[in-house]
Chain A
Amino acid sequence: MSDPSAASIVSTPPAEAPNEIGAPTNAGLPENARKEKPRGLLGDAWRDLRRKPLFWISAAFIVLFLLMTAFPSLFTSGDPENGNLQNSLVGPSSEAWFGYDFQGRDVFARVIHGTRASIVVSLLSVLGVLLFGGAMGIVAGYRGGWVDALLSRIADIFFGLPFVLGAIVILTTFNGSGTSNSKAEIMGLVSISLIVLGWPVVMRLMRSSVLATKEADYIVAARALGAGTGRIILKHLLPNCLAPLLVYGTILVGSYIGAEATLSFLGVGLKSPVVSWGIMINEAQSLIRVAPYLLFFPAGFLVTAVLSFVMLGEAVREALDPKLR
Chain B
Amino acid sequence: MGRYLLRRLLQLIPVFIGTTFLIYWLVWSVPGDPFAGKCGERPCPDSFVNKMTEKFKLDEPLVVQYGNYMKNLFQGDFGQTFGGREIGDIIATSYPNTLKLALVALAVEAVIGLTAGVLTGLRRNGFLDNLVLVSSLFLIALPIFVIGFVAQWLLGVQWGIVKPTVSSEMRLSELIVPGFVLGSASMAYIARLARTSIAENRRADYVRTAIAKGLPMRRVVGIHLLRNSLIPVVTLLGTDLGALMGGAIVTEGIFQVNGIGQQVYRAIITKESATVVSIVVVLVLVYLLMNLVVDLLYAALDPRIRYE
Q: A residues bordering B, Cβ < 8 Å? A: 153-154, 156-158, 160-162, 164-165, 168-170, 172-174, 176-178, 254, 258-259, 261-262, 265-267, 281, 285, 288-289, 292, 295, 299, 302-303, 306-307, 310-311, 314
For the residues of B in contact with A, the DSSP-based class is helix
A168 with B268: in contact, given A157-B19, A162-B287 (CB under 8 Å)? yes
Checking B15, B141, B150, B247 against A156 with a beta-carbon cut-off of 8 angstroms, the contacting residue is B15
Q: Which residues of A contact B56 (CB under 8 A)?
A: none
Query: Is A303 a contact partner of B31 (Cβ separation < 8 A)?
Result: no
Chain B residue nearest to A169 (CB atoms) is: B26
Q: How far is the CA of A295 from the CA of B137 in the complex (A)?
A: 22
Checking B141, B143, B249, B288 against A168 with a beta-carbon cut-off of 8 angstroms, the contacting residue is B249
Query: Is B36 a contact partner of A262 (Cβ separation < 8 A)?
Result: no
Q: Which of B118-126, B174-182, B276-284 interfaces with chain A?
A: B276-284
- Rounded to whole Å, the gap between the CB of B268 and the closest CB of chain A is 5
Query: Is B288 a contact partner of A173 (Cβ separation < 8 A)?
Result: no
Checking A158, A177, A178, A295 against B149 with a beta-carbon cut-off of 8 angstroms, the contacting residue is A295
Chain A residue nearest to B269 (CB atoms) is: A172
Q: Which residues of B contact A157 (CB under 8 A)?
A: 14-15, 18-19, 22
Q: Is B250 an interface residue (CB 8 A)?
A: yes
Q: How far is the CA of A65 from the CA of B3 in the complex (A)?
A: 53
A178 with B146: in contact, given A162-B243, A254-B141, A266-B249 (CB under 8 Å)? no
Additional A-B contact list (10), CB under 8 Å, known A157-B22, A261-B143, A299-B150: A162-B283, A169-B276, A177-B37, A266-B249, A281-B146, A288-B149, A295-B149, A299-B146, A303-B141, A310-B140
Query: Is B149 a contact partner of A165 (Cβ separation < 8 A)?
Result: no
How many A-B pairs have beta carbons closer than 8 Å: the answer is 111
Q: Which of B247, B268, B271, B288 has the most CB of A within 10 A?
A: B268
Query: Is A160 a contact partner of B268 (Cβ separation < 8 A)?
Result: no
Q: Which residues of B contact A169 (CB under 8 A)?
A: 23, 26-27, 268, 276, 280
Query: Is B149 a contact partner of A258 (Cβ separation < 8 A)?
Result: no
Q: Which residues of B contact A281 (CB under 8 A)?
A: 145-146, 149
Q: Which residues of B contact A311 (CB under 8 A)?
A: 137
Interface residues on B, range: 35 or more
Write 9 A-B pairs (CB below 8 A) sorted by A numbering.
A154-B18, A157-B14, A162-B247, A162-B284, A164-B250, A168-B265, A169-B280, A265-B250, A295-B149
Query: Is A307 a contact partner of B19 (Cβ separation < 8 A)?
Result: no
Interface string of B272-299 (1 = CB under 8 A from A): 0000100010011001100000000000
Query: Is B142 a contact partner of A303 (Cβ separation < 8 A)?
Result: yes
Checking B23, B137, B271 against A310 with a beta-carbon cut-off of 8 angstroms, the contacting residue is B137
Q: How far is the CA of A269 from the CA of B108 in the complex (A)?
A: 31
Query: Is B145 a contact partner of A262 (Cβ separation < 8 A)?
Result: yes
Q: Is B246 an interface residue (CB 8 A)?
A: yes
Q: Which residues of B contact A266 (CB under 8 A)?
A: 249-250, 253, 265
Q: Which residues of A contact B23 (CB under 8 A)?
A: 161, 169
Q: Is B138 an interface residue (CB 8 A)?
A: yes
Query: Is B249 a contact partner of A164 (Cβ separation < 8 A)?
Result: yes
Interface string of B10-51 (1 = CB under 8 A from A): 000011101100110011001100001100000000000000
Q: How far is the CA of A246 from the CA of B32 in the complex (A)?
A: 40
Q: How far is the CA of A302 from the CA of B145 in the complex (A)?
A: 11
Q: Is B211 an interface residue (CB 8 A)?
A: no
Q: Which residues of A contact B140 (CB under 8 A)?
A: 310
Checking B30, B250, B280 against A174 with a beta-carbon cut-off of 8 angstroms, the contacting residue is B30
Checking B18, B26, B157 against A173 with a beta-carbon cut-off of 8 angstroms, the contacting residue is B26
Query: Is A153 a contact partner of B246 (Cβ separation < 8 A)?
Result: no
Q: Is B206 an interface residue (CB 8 A)?
A: no
Q: Which of B37, B253, B265 has the most CB of A within 10 A?
A: B265
Query: Is B280 a contact partner of A314 (Cβ separation < 8 A)?
Result: no
Interface string of B153-167 (1 = CB under 8 A from A): 100010000000000
A302 with B15: in contact, given A172-B268, A289-B157 (CB under 8 Å)? no
Q: Is B301 an interface residue (CB 8 A)?
A: no
Q: How far is the CA of A156 from the CA of B14 in the complex (A)?
A: 9
Interface string of B189-202 (1 = CB under 8 A from A): 00000000000000
Q: Is B264 an interface residue (CB 8 A)?
A: yes
Q: Which residues of B contact A254 (CB under 8 A)?
A: 141
- Rounded to whole Å, the gap between the CB of B123 and the closest CB of chain A is 19
Q: How far is the CA of A289 from the CA of B297 in the complex (A)?
A: 46
A165 with B15: in contact, given A176-B31, A306-B143 (CB under 8 Å)? no
Checking A177, A259, A288, A307 against B157 with a beta-carbon cut-off of 8 angstroms, the contacting residue is A288
